[in-house]
Amino acid sequence: MVSRSAQASIRGHIKIAVRVSVDGAGNVTDALLVVPGSSRYFARQAMDAAVKWKFAPSEDRNAHKRLLQFEFTRAGNTAHAVPLPSRSAP
């Protein structure tokens, strides 16, 4: 949860991206900060939210990669998930 004082301090947009691995049950099993943005505080908030994210269960039991994109502004925060293409073995 972002504090009100931190939210009020934002000038413009802070964009952060976190790559996550998701298991067949929809749980995040690993997270990696790929775009840290301009603030360590908001990067930490994004990472904390990313590891708590829950996806719909999948029949495929292999881990899936997703990119979680966070945007923090003075008016509010948004986040959405983007599937990453799986790499096929050569």
User: Per residue in 20-46, pLDDT tens?
Assistant: 999 989 999 999 999 999 999 999 999
pLDDT at residue 84, as a whole number: 80
How far is it, in rounded angstroms, from Cα 49 to Cα 42? 10
Would you report the helix, strand and coil content of the chain in percent, each value rounded to 5?
20, 40, 40
CA dist 50 to 9, 10, 11, Å? 22, 21, 23
Residue 64 has pLDDT above 90, yes or no: no
Q: Which two tokens stand for residue 6?
A: 């931190």
> Which of residues 52 and 84 earns the better pLDDT score?
52
Length of the chain: 90
